């Protein structure tokens, strides 16, 4: 990466952090600012929870719980090492964990797929069916993983988080994250390879 590209990336990250800092400060007093924070992060939190549960109803409930908890405890949020978005992912991770503790059973897969991506070109019908089938098999295999592996795999390969960011969200060391990713992917591969699906 060139020095100029790195400088732009650092500046962009600093701008996002400053924008969040202003919004969080305002949201403590103003519901409109809280609404802007909600709008900014809703799709990210919803997508993360959906990819971890593959159940739209559960996702809607847990996403609501994440924001309710975040806004209820907004006064406790401090600008230390954790950006606001990572704090929301941390709350979401805890909500998912608590959901499965309450369930105490393997969740059933959803009958429908929620698309969170906007495709630049519409796929053909055959491509849509093939992608949907791969998606169903992959997520079925993900749901079979122990939650600790599923969490890091989803954060890394579906949410695009770095090892450092996952470490911040989960409060685990980077070495632990790397180990869990390795083991989680190995388990996914052992399930998916016989079906002809390549994991991320």
Q: Which domains does the chain possess? A: 1-105 (1.10.1740.10), 123-200 (1.10.10.10)
Mean pLDDT over residues 157-180, rounded? 93
Considering just the CA atoms, what is the radius of gyration of the chain in Å?
18
**CA atoms of 184 and 160, how far apart (whole Å):** 16
Stated pTM of the model: 0.71
3-state secondary structure of 2: coil
What confidence score (pLDDT) does residue 143 get? 83
pLDDT classification of 67: cutoffs 50, 70, 90: very high
Q: Which residues contact 5 (CB under 8 A, 6 or more apart)?
A: none
Looking at residue 109, the DSSP 8-state letter turns out to be P
Q: Angle at CA 74, nearest 5°, toward 68 and 77? A: 130
pLDDT given at position 57: 93
Choice between 22 and 176, residue whose per-residue pLDDT is larger:
176
37-41, 65-69, 90-94, 138-142: lowest mean pLDDT where? 138-142
């Amino acid at each position: 990466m060139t020095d100029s590209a790195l400088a732009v990336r650092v500046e962009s990250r600093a701008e996002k952090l400053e924008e969040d800092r202003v919004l969080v400060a305002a949201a403590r007093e103003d519901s409109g600012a809280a609404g802007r924070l909600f709008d900014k992060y809703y799709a990210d939190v919803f997508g993360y929870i959906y990819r971890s549960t593959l159940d739209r109803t559960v996702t809607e409930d847990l996403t609501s719980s994440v924001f309710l908890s975040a806004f209820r405890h907004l006064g406790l949020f401090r600008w230390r090492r954790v950006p606001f978005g990572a704090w929301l992912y941390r709350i979401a991770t805890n909500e998912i964990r608590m959901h499965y503790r309450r369930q105490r059973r393997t969740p059933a897969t959803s009958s429908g797929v929620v698309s969170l991506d906007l495709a630049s070109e519409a796929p053909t019908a055959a491509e849509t069916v093939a992608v949907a089938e791969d998606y169903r098999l992959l997520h079925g295999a993900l749901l079979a993983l122990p939650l600790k592996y599923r969490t890091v795999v989803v954060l890394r390969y579906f949410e695009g988080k770095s090892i450092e960011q996952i470490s911040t969200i989960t409060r685990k060391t980077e070495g632990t994250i790397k180990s869990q990713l390795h083991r989680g992917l190995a388990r996914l591969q052992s399930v998916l390879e016989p079906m002809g699906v390549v994991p991320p």
